[in-house]
Amino acid sequence: MAGEAAANGIFPSHHYHSTAHEVLVVYGGSARVQFGGEAGIVASVTAGDVVIIPAGVGHKNLGATADFRVIGAYPRGQTWDICYGRAGERPRADENIARVPLPSADPVLGREGPLFAYWR
């Protein structure tokens, strides 16, 4: 996963990417993030955490410390979009998600990393 990367935050509204997977690397502070939409799980992320978000999985920042810092990156060759779960996004978003290939490597440990043991 050596594509586009940017230091930024996590949007405070539910959104997902239909054209790319995403990796978040937290390098400062902490935040509560909801994954999977309104009924999804809530997780606390802190400096040192790495989160892999497959294409189509919603995420939202529910609140962060003032020193929260995160880098978001996308696999090489995948250009991200932003979808909000609106009715007009489908079926195109679903078709996009189905076409997104798996990343070529674990974003932290490379080709020998454990990503594919969990990603099915």
Residue 37's nearest CA partner among 49, 53, 50, 25 is 53
Q: Is the pLDDT of residue 3 over 60?
A: no
pLDDT one-digit tens code per residue, 45-63? 999 999 999 999 999 999 9
Mean pLDDT of 9-16: 94
Residue 54 covered by a domain: yes
User: Domain range spanning residue 49?
Assistant: 5-101
The rounded mean pLDDT for the chain is 92
Residue 93 covered by a domain: yes
User: Which pLDDT score, from 0 to 100, does residue 42 have?
Assistant: 98
Residue 111 covered by a domain: no
- The total of structural domains in the chain comes to 1
User: Which pLDDT score, from 0 to 100, does residue 87 have?
Assistant: 86
User: Which pLDDT score, from 0 to 100, does residue 2 have?
Assistant: 46
Q: Is the pLDDT of residue 66 over 50?
A: yes
Q: What is the CATH number of the domain that holds 32?
A: 2.60.120.10
Residue 9 covered by a domain: yes
